[in-house]
A and B are shown apart, each in its own frame.
Chain A
Amino acid sequence: MDKEKNKEGGVDRLINQTTSRREFLKMGGKGAAGAVLTVSLVSFLSSCTTTGLGAGKKRVWATASGAVIHSTARCSGCRRCETNCTMSNDGKAHPYIARVKIGRNLNFGKKGPTAAYWMNDGQIGNLKIDGETCHQCADPYCGNACPVGAIGVDPSTKARVVDEAKCIGCGACERACPWGMATLDPEAKKSKKCLLCNGDPQCARYCPNGAIKFLPWAEAVKLYQAHGQDHI
């Protein structure tokens, strides 16, 4: 988005639509190294998120173009998405760091095994598969937690992406994500999180059951909310 359009569209448009973090910071008069906005500026931007102001500074994120969504009804648990993800993005088969998480809940659901495991989620339970995908949060826990500003916004998809050159492998993002999606690669010592594969997520493209979809963000949010996740 060019600056002229931003001016014409006003601040709301600037925040809620597609401006990248870098562009926004330029407009706010901050250099790339700043990576934060002052509270006063955030207060001025009334439609901006007002939570998590913490140390008095707030970073503002362009909304992602979309998010990857998993359908438990259609999923058959083959986990091809996990190896498609890491083979395409990391050149190896590595489900542990896959940006879409099917395997970890496969047998016993999100809760893990309980005494009533056979009635609870999972293949060894009621057969329900609790797949998890990155929400590309409006206000991403991973990005906000990163101490070195290594998580930014992809210029084309607006996905929250890791700049591996900057990432120091501290795992702050992994600890911050409420859904456990960002994962520290124990081999590369870098954070791995969903980067939307330049707008063509490989997990979705090759899902043999069409159980993973890449949806526009607003639709994805509706689906998350339909599953009781109102935080988005």
Chain B
Amino acid sequence: MGSMTGWTGKVLRVNLSTGAITTVDTGKYVNYIGGQGLGYKVIFDEVAPGTDAFDPANKIIFSVGPLTGTGAVCSGRTTVTTCSPLNPYSAVADSHFGGYWGSELKYAGWDAVIVEGKAATPVWIRIEDDKVTIESARRLWGKGTFDTQAEIASIMGKEAHVACIGPAGENLVPASFIRTGQSHHGGGHGGVLGSKNLKAIGIKGTQSVKIASNAAEWNKVLRENLAVIGANNQHVVPNSPQPWAEYTAATRWTAAPGRFWGAAEPPVETGTCDPKDLNSIGFRTLKSVFDLGPLAEKYTVRMGGCSSCPIRCHSELKIPALEKFGYSPYVASTCVGFSGPGAVMLKGSKDVVEKDDGPLMAKALGAQITNDLGVWCNYSQIAKDFDYAYNSGIIKKVLSPEEYTAMRFDLLEAKDVSFLTYFYEAIAFKKGEFSHMADGIAILAKRWNFGDDYWNTKKYSVWSKMGYPKHHSNETDAQVGTLISIVKNRDAQNHSHMNFIGSGLPLAKQREIAAEIWGNADAIDEPLNYTPITKAKIKFAKWSLVKLALHDSLTLCNWMWPMTVSPLKERNYRGNLGLESQYYSLATGTKKTEAELDFDAERVLHLHRALTMLQMNSKDMRKDHDALPSWIFNPKGGFVKGSDYMDRADMELSMDMFYEELGWDKATGAVTRATLLKFGMADVAAALDKKGLLLG
């Protein structure tokens, strides 16, 4: 301990029941890389299968990895792992937030924080380098996330970074999040903090993250990384014609001459952003216009994001009209952080300040309210659940007439965005029956007796009885998207495949590159012109999952990584898939090739599988866990050009091939003894064996 590089060498353990604060050697977890791998291993080692998410015996792990805080590109993310309150088995799930908290944890000298037990009264954890204390949160309990961060920073110092819950987490709302900074949150785990009476963790660090190598070697990799990086989601083709660009496509590379950070003082032009200009990388992604439409340009103060990331994908806006609703005019979020909360306006949104600004205002106000109260949109699912419950008449049935009136559905009908305040406040403060709206798919559908049409209709996009929605599934990448969606215990949130197919490069070019990586150009289909499963598609699906585990463990942002392609014509648009292992080798001093590091990441994936089997007490994962939603299939069978329909027989075959590729049992999808031993996981095999769940 203490002599490691990349990692700090220390994991912090805080027991809120006993008040004990102890240290664990990170070395114990190095085979699992860090971040997600470390989190899964702690749950496997220490939390008995069947433990309810809100039981004090559940643990929650905030973990980062050997690259977090090193300055490696896009290395600012934190993985939060626990038994999920949204999953019917309280199965393990990881959520993630960006921002600056994870790097600060490293600078304070820690690779992870394991929180266990339950405090008798509300507390927060104060970390200042090696000094760790448990503080009373009596005065913080009930406050929104912004007030909480300000209060804690006023105690610890303005440099402190705080991860906290809002009222939603305190009130054990399953779809609640943990927030840090202006615009970063990890969804689904807020209630677990609430169940432990833990309001926040504040960190201030004065230490360094050391690397085994030297600055010259490190900077060489960094420069290569900056050469191949694109825009958000590693899109490498601009959205509009640019003098340097061969292609144009509907990408997130939205910078252009005449497009501005319009509310900056003075306004800043995003410009042409030649890929070779290292001083304009941060302007490539004008995400505000991409997410909120052209009206957002004049409200854009800047694009923001996470520590160490030159790609700024968070829109920071000044929208004076938000003050009318009692909120700060300064709002920031990205992507579904805007669209999810705003989508609750089922009937549309009328103008607030100018013509057609209703949708923008709904997104901005929805983001602002949920940011403060700590309600998570469950990757937009909350609006779809509301759509079903409201339009099917269920809400009218389950709410008392008084509550129904108090909810102000008249505002919803009138397309008045102030409805959002009633919607989210009822949830966060657990007011009445309506608050169960944020219980998540599995619990809510049972409580309100949703019909089969809820599960089987595409519109509601419910992926799994495990309680999660689709997320870049069959609609975007045929079998590959479908397969990556069956593995986790929450929405897939995988961008390894999305970044590649969305890069903007022409299909022929993508196929050329696909053949080099996955063995055949048929790894990818033309959009919505799907063809039967191939070996290369299976390899692509596995690769996508392994890379996600890698990134969530190192930690690097999978919304940017891997660097499969580049914006450089002279490189024939090839990226560099060896960068992660090069960074890893230089940081930790343990030399690994891309394949060797991917092997470690694959171990994380197998641990997730084994852990889920233990938690569900099932060895037939194909039936009990991986079952596909009916709405993805063509009732007549086969593929149809222009449709995202899958073919059932083809998908069954795909699952056979996928399980085999992963070394899982072909019939059941259970991870086998042989695979676990191949990855040096005898302890995991033994745990499965003890429960009668081990095959082979």
A residues whose Cβ falls under 8 Å from a Cβ of B? 73-80, 83-84, 86-97, 103-109, 111-113, 117-119, 122-127, 186-187, 205-210
Contact = CB atoms under 8 A, between A and B. Distances in A.
B71 A127 contact: no
B146 A112 contact: no
A124 B161 CA distance: 11
B310 A127 contact: no
B158 interface: yes
Contacts of B306: 78
Interface stretch (B201-209, B350-358, B544-552): B201-209
B182 interface: yes
A interface secondary structure, majority: loop
Contacts of A208: 278-282, 310-312
Given A103-B100, A107-B149, A94 B280 contact: no
B266 A127 contact: no
B318 interface: yes
Given A104-B158, A208-B279, A209-B281, 15 more contacts: A73-B265, A73-B266, A76-B282, A78-B305, A80-B308, A91-B211, A93-B71, A107-B181, A123-B316, A123-B332, A124-B181, A127-B301, A127-B318, A187-B207, A208-B310
A75 B297 CA distance: 17
Contact of A84 (B71, B205, B330): B71
A108 to B, nearest CB: 5
Contacts of B205: 96
Contacts of A117: 146, 150
Best-buried of B146, B158, B161, B301 by chain A (most CB within 10 Å): B158
A111 to B, nearest CB: 8
B302 interface: yes
A78 B153 CA distance: 20
Contacts, number: 155
Interface in B304-320: 304-312, 316, 318
Contact of A79 (B70, B100, B301): B100
B208 A94 contact: yes
B146 A87 contact: no
Nearest to A110: B158
Given A123-B182, A124-B146, A210 B280 contact: yes
- 10 shortest A-B CB distances, which residue pairs? A83-B71, A208-B310, A94-B208, A112-B158, A210-B279, A208-B282, A209-B282, A208-B281, A113-B150, A92-B208
A123 B447 CA distance: 40
27 contacts: A76-B305, A76-B312, A78-B306, A78-B307, A78-B309, A78-B312, A83-B69, A86-B208, A87-B71, A87-B218, A92-B209, A92-B210, A94-B107, A96-B206, A104-B159, A108-B153, A112-B158, A113-B149, A113-B151, A113-B153, A123-B304, A123-B316, A127-B316, A186-B207, A208-B280, A208-B312, A209-B282
Contacts of B158: 104-105, 107-109, 111-113, 122
B2 to A, nearest CB: 12
B289 to A, nearest CB: 16
Given A73-B265, A107-B181, A209-B282, A78 B310 contact: yes
Contacts of A75: 302
Interface string B272-297: 00000011111100000000000000
A229 to B, nearest CB: 18
Interface of B: 69-71, 100, 103, 107, 146, 149-151, 153-154, 157-159, 161, 181-183, 205-211, 214-215, 218-219, 226, 261, 264-266, 268, 278-283, 301-312, 316, 318, 328, 330, 332
Nearest to A210: B279
B157 A106 contact: no
A84 B70 CA distance: 10
B273 to A, nearest CB: 10
Contact of A88 (B153, B154, B219): B219
Contacts of A107: 149, 153, 158, 161, 181-182
A92 B106 CA distance: 12
Given A208-B280, A209-B279, A112 B154 contact: yes
B129 to A, nearest CB: 9
B146 A118 contact: yes
Contacts of A73: 261, 264-266, 268, 302
A17 B633 CA distance: 78
Contacts of B268: 73-74
A186 B206 contact: yes
Contacts of B182: 107, 123-124, 127
A88 B279 CA distance: 18
Contacts of B206: 96, 186
B476 to A, nearest CB: 28
B150 A93 contact: no
B330 A118 contact: yes
A127 B100 CA distance: 15
A124 B283 contact: no
Contacts of A209: 279-283, 312
Contact of B304 (A76, A86, A210): A76
B226 A206 contact: yes
A83 B70 contact: yes
A126 B211 contact: no
A135 B282 CA distance: 25
B209 A80 contact: no
Contact of B308 (A78, A86, A94, A119): A78
A199 to B, nearest CB: 17
B215 A87 contact: yes
Given A76-B304, A78-B312, A91-B215, A118 B328 contact: yes
Contacts of A74: 264, 268
Contacts of B304: 76-77, 123, 127
A192 to B, nearest CB: 11
Contact of A94 (B207, B282, B310): B207
Contacts of B181: 107, 123-124
Nearest to A112: B158
A89 B215 CA distance: 8
A210 B284 CA distance: 13
Nearest to B314: A76
A161 to B, nearest CB: 18
B332 to A, nearest CB: 7
A187 B185 CA distance: 32
Contacts of A87: 71, 211, 215, 218-219
A208 B301 CA distance: 17
Contacts of A103: 100, 159
